[in-house]
Structure 1
Amino acid sequence: MKHFSAPLLLAAACTLAPLPVLADLALATARNCMSCHNVDRKVVGPAFKDVATKYRGDKAAPARLATKVMQGGGGVWGVVKMPSNPQVNEAEAKKLVAWILSQ
């Protein structure tokens, strides 16, 4: 039986299964989220940590929030409405929401 080193096995696994692109501050910045939001404090919209706290345990929240990221909305955090974000596609919206909810 031939033995392979751990780095070689890891390299082989990475070539067989692509790693998912993870949303992060860079994606949020690139898609203009940070113009109205901050991770730790309210700006125009709520802090991402506050969003994560509000929706913790809500299994329907990720899909609902991804739609809100793309289409905009209002009434949850005050009178200022979140504008639509046509520059964000559905896959990016889901990644952003997953990252926001992980805060």
Structure 2
Amino acid sequence: MAGNAAMAATPPGQTLANANACMGCHAVNRKLVGPSFQQIASKYKDDPQATAKLSQKIKRGGAGVWGSIPMPAHPSMSDANIRVLVDWVMAGSPAK
């Protein structure tokens, strides 16, 4: 029962980040291999194209924006799930 309550409190974007190995390279509030999700939100906060740019980066992968270590592509992640993940990141990645 406690496990179900914890899952219910976890934002959907964080659940997707956990399920798709995002947390192996990114953390909510500190740099790991890649930037923190909060750093990403800060960098793109005033960019009206942020959702499209980040969605494309998740789907296709890439390198060079944050350094030379490439981000792997996630071509099998649905566009709907990518949008949930990007919305969570852009909201400042609140962890519950």
**Is the shorter-chain TM-score for this pair beyond 0.5, marking a shared fold?**
yes
Deviations 1:72-100 (A, max 9, x none): 01110001010111331111111101100
Q: Which runs of 4+ in 1 moved over 6 A?
A: none
Pair 1:91 & 2:80 matched: yes
How many matched pairs?
82
Q: Which amino acid aligns with 2:31?
A: K
Q: TM (normalized to structure 2)?
A: 0.79
Q: TM (normalized to structure 1)?
A: 0.74
Q: Structure 1: where are the runs of 5+ without partners?
A: 1-21
Q: Identify the structure with bigger relative contact order (alpha carbons < 8 Å, sequence gap 6+).
A: 2
Percentage of identical aligned residues: 43
Which of these residues, 70, 80, 84, is aligned with residue 69 of structure 2?
80
Q: Structure 2: where are the runs of 5+ without partners?
A: 1-10
Pair 1:44 & 2:33 matched: yes
Q: CA RMSD in A?
A: 1.2
Larger radius of gyration: 1
